[in-house]
Structures are given as C-alpha cells and as structure tokens.
Structure 1
C-alpha cells in the first residue's frame, strides 16, 4: 500500500484539498511534506497523478517563475472529476471541439499536443500565399483541418489557463504570470515534430537592470530567422502585447511592450487590411483604458536585416487578460470578474462570427454547471438554430442566454456571490 501523508488536523478546506500520488507516495497539497515531494518529483521528471479519480489522472510539474506548480496535461480536463479544479467542460462548447483529432492531436505517450498550422513558417511558402494579404483571413474559414494564427493564439491561451478567473485573483495577474504560463504551454506543443517553443518568441518581462541579458537571449532566439532552410528563409511566430502602431514612411512600426527598441515593420497595404479585418479588436482596445491588445504574427528578416510582419492576427483582452471580441463580451467578462466562483471564458478559435459558442461557463455551479451564451443583435435564424442545437446536445448543463436585442444583460447566477 502506498505511503499516505494525511491532511493536517483542522486544515482549512480539508474537504476539497487535492491529493496527488508521486510514484508510490500519496500526499495532500496542504501537507508540510508536499513541497519536498514536489521538488523531488520535478527533479526526477516524475508525473504526479491527481487522485480525483481512481486510478488517477496524469499531471505534470511546471516551473512557473521559480515556483513549482502541478498542471493538467494538454486536453485532459475532461478526465478529471467535475469537482476537481482541473476539470474542464466539454470542448464542443467552444471552437476547440472541431479542431481536436485533426488540427490538434494529443500524443498519449509523451503528453504533447501535435499541431497542424494553416500558415507558413518559411518565406517560400509565404510568397505563394501573398494573395491572402498576410492576414490569415482564409484560415478562419477552414473547418477543423488546420490552425489559423488566431486559433493558435486561442489554443495557447486555453492551455495556459488564462481563460479562467475568480475574484480571488484580483490584482494578481500581470505580464509576468502571462508570460510564464504561455511559455510553459508552448513547451507541450509540437509542429511537424519540432517543439513549438523553438520557433516561438514571447517577450520576457523587461527589467532595466537585465536589459543586456534579455537582449542577448532574444538575439539568440531570433537566430532562426537567419538560418536558411532548403533554400527558403525561415519565419518565426511572435506573441506579444501591442503598445502602439507608430507611423513610418511607409506603413507602420509595431511597438511591443517589454521589447524596448524593438520594431516590426508593417507594409501600408497590410496595415489597411489589419484595420479592416480587425476593426472590432482595435476599437475594443482603443475604447478601454485597462484593456490589452495581443498580437500573434509570423515575422521574417528582410535583406537589410529589418524584421517584417508576414501574417498577423489580433486579440483584445480585458484587464484580467481574458479574451473579448465585442463590447457585449466585455460587459459579461467584467461582471464575471466580480464573482468568487470560477468562470471560464470561451474562445471562438476558427469559428466564424456567425456561429454560436458558449461565451463563458461557470463550471462550479450547483446543481449543474452553467454555459453562458450571447446572441448579438445581428444574429440570424441560423445563429438561433445553432444555439438551440447546443442546448439540446448538453442537457447536463444549465443555460444562461443574453439576447442583446431584447435589452440589458440578465442577472448572472450567483449574483449574490459578487464582491
């Protein structure tokens, strides 16, 4: 029988405290021996088992900013018990469902998510796709075959846990946490057998005193752009927060937070397309004092060494770094952010704006989890029919629906739990 470290007598929250098995040792996360067991397991690359179910669900240990954290393996949220913090509601509530098994495949042996991308990572392939105006617009129309730029950004956000929120975290989520969780999530994804992290650049939190070291690490990362591959120039993926689209003689210079002195060139025609294609995201960013504008782009090095944008997608996020795609979602997210119970923001991935999805969920609601839907004023009969199909398909969930054309947002469940 495995050695068991019990809960401390009188430990607060003992009823819901999580338990893990490290090899043959079981321990609750609030026991004094837990930190030592966690550190030992991390050094030996042991994957702990979450004991919310028998015989346990495999997890992994991540070093998030010099703090060891037990995290669920990619796409395994449904294997956990509904009462477990690692549990996730069915993926068919969002745009993730249609991508599983085709654009995203989970390797059960190593726990990595293998991705198929709908955008180029070499200059030669990118040139052949120049007619798409470097916006990934066509990739949004695909049906579960490959990931567009936007879908990849959404998947990174989902796997990073950045879609989850509770009022207990207020004031505790900054770029430092966002960066470390994104880097950790990317470390469990592959593209054509290569680690996604090898071709992905995410700005690390900038400190003036570490400026030279940060720039050296960045230059080392960007060396990929100057290494030819079978006659083609390589591209990299950059994920970062936009600070400004500064004027230039031709087009714009993208200024990215935590990357002082670093500029990305955007051609004038591409900038016009960005303004047209991502008008909602730009307006949300410009109208909200606390919102952030996230960018994902493939970047290339020109003949003069100037870094340019090849393809780009934008995503607006709230003060809590929760993705929002409309003023209605922003209003919903702001209301949910005041709840102490956990909420999970839904993501569209590659669904078109005319297709419904659960804009958010309340997975801890009793007696049933709640899926929250927003029906925009522009919704047609097909949209309403899609909502109805989703409700019929998930009788195990309660539904909250805001038909914007009918008036103000209805009261949320657990409204008396707001702060």
Structure 2
C-alpha cells in the first residue's frame, strides 16, 4: 500500500477496475513475483512537471498560489506542482511579528518570484516586492530637521519605534525625549498606538534607519543659559545628592548645579558635603561658573559672604593665645577649634614631647590652650602650638560669628 500513492490512498478499493501507470521496482523470477510502484511513477511524473514549470517561469514573474503551510519564519505557497517559500522578511515592507498576521492556510495570494533553484526545484517568493520600495526617495519625503508624525509600534526601555508609513519606521532614543527630565525608560512616555510628533535627526540609507527626537521640537534651555543664569548672580536650589567631591543641586526642572565641598564654607574643614548639607535642603547659591559640556552650573555657598580670612589674619596674629576644643586627632597632630567653624592644626612636633601618647594624650572634646604660630590665608590654614605661658595671652578682638547654619534646619533657605 505504501507504493500506491505519494500521500497514501485512504481507500484502495477506489482503484479497482482502473487503469494505472506504474514503475517496475523489482522482479523475482523464482517466485514469479513482480513489484511495481505507482508512487515512484507519480514522483517521476511530478518531478518532470516541476522541471517543465521551472523552465517556463522566470525571476520577476508574478504568479498566483495557495498557502499550504505557515511557520514562524514564513509560509509555503503551492504554485501548481511547485512549492515556494515566502519568507517573513519578504511579506511586507512594514514590521510584522508572525506570518499569521497577514496570511492563513488556504488563502489564495499573488506573489513575485525572487529566485529559482533548478537543482533543488525550489522557488523563493515575495509579496512586498509587488509594491514599490517605500525607501525610494526617502530623503525628499523626510528631510533632516523636518517635523513628522507617526504611530508607536514598539517600546523598549531605551527607546521607541515609530511607524511613519507602512515600511518606514523611525527610532526615538530615551536621551532625545526631553531636555529637562531624565527619562530612564521609554514606557514612562509612550503606549502602543500613540500618535507622536517628532523631528528627523538623521537618515541612514544603507541600514534603513531614521533617528527621531521629540525634545528637538523645543529649544534647548542650555542654548542661551548665560543670559538666564549670569555669573556671580544668586539662585535658589534644592540639594538632590552627593558624591566625594560635593553636592548636586536642582535649580529648576532640567537645570542642575554642583557645589564643591571646598565652596561650602570659608573656614570649616569639610571632608564630605553631607556633613553640612542635607538631601532636600533648599538654599541660596552663587553662580561661579557654567559647564556646558556637563550641562551644569558651578555653584558656591561660601561666596555669598565676604572672605573672612583678612579679618582672621588680623585677629589671630602670631603669638596670640587662645583656648580651643580638640575636634579630631591624627598621627600627625590634632585639630583645635578656636572659634565656631574655625580650626587650627596643632602639629605633633609642637606638642610637648614629655606628654604621653602620639597626640600628647589629647582626645576629641578636650580643651586646650594654644598659641598661634602662623596663618596662611591663601591655603586657609592656621598652625598652632601649645601655649607655654598662659599669663602672656593676648586678648583678641571680638570676631563676628557666622550666621545662618543650613545644617540646623533642612529647608531654612540659608547658606553656610
């Protein structure tokens, strides 16, 4: 029965009394037995028909066929006795995720012959080739910097694909969504089928890519930043974060600044900005620079006030004896606070060598009487020594205390 038909015959009785053509497969003389195959004859006949048909058709011909099977990568189309593959990439100029979006088994379709393999008797077919390539003349349809509208067809965390017309898509990267807000995921901005307006940023004809931008519909606020934020002017901002060098400050939506830890106080020794500032704290700052490359204003807190070091130099002349509190101890010496936010270094070489311990037995919070050895106003450093004779202490004039300590209240809008 396996040699009766190519696909098998469900009812062998249907062939009774019918004349059929067969091919002799084998002859057994001893047993007086001959094995014939109708299937082999049909296969040879079909192969000949395929050859005849393949010799009649040409690349570029438009033919009609029936969809026999659909797979993930395409569809098989029966054209008379020849099966052709219609690959998913040749179905539409536009984006499709599965062939079943366009075809169903049994559909009668028109296709274009793209390639013929006579040896394997295979034909490659195309549907999209029945219409003109939409990328022809694309530069004229979508010139650079022109405004376009399209439909969101796919969204990824780093951007979205926009269909401008069937077969023509553009891509908007998250960095091109907004001048003033940092978008981390395109899903925050789009949903499928949204209609959006954008600007054409670039065209890559070879890779068939169009780059679009939405933020370019508006002027870049940093383009004329100097006219709005003038050097030496004051602005109000909110502390948003820290790094080892200072603090980040939000001036307004899309305009950020940075204040170095060295620009927080004239006198206070600050290792980390968070020792003085708090996240969410609002303060006034002075603009001392503009970094366009990093889109950042360079800010200062201390420059809202005059430099006090000329007065400090006048007040604490060498030999002046003062009483202070030890704030920290290190192998090289101890720091002594001689007035609020003003420290001097009592170097280990200046500590009485008869004292016990590497810091003369001193600990933080200890009170100590010291004398001023020197002041370097450029480096903002005061060097101290242990006072040898308290009776020779010089009376220092009153030094104005600093006002407004931002660390006391997170939102008092005051500077250090």
Is the structural similarity TM-score above 0.5? no
What TM-score, normalized to structure 2?
Answer: 0.18
Greater share of helix residues, 1 or 2?
A: 1
Greater share of strand residues, 1 or 2?
A: 2
Compare relative contact order (CA 8 Å, sep 6+) and give the higher one, 1 or 2.
1
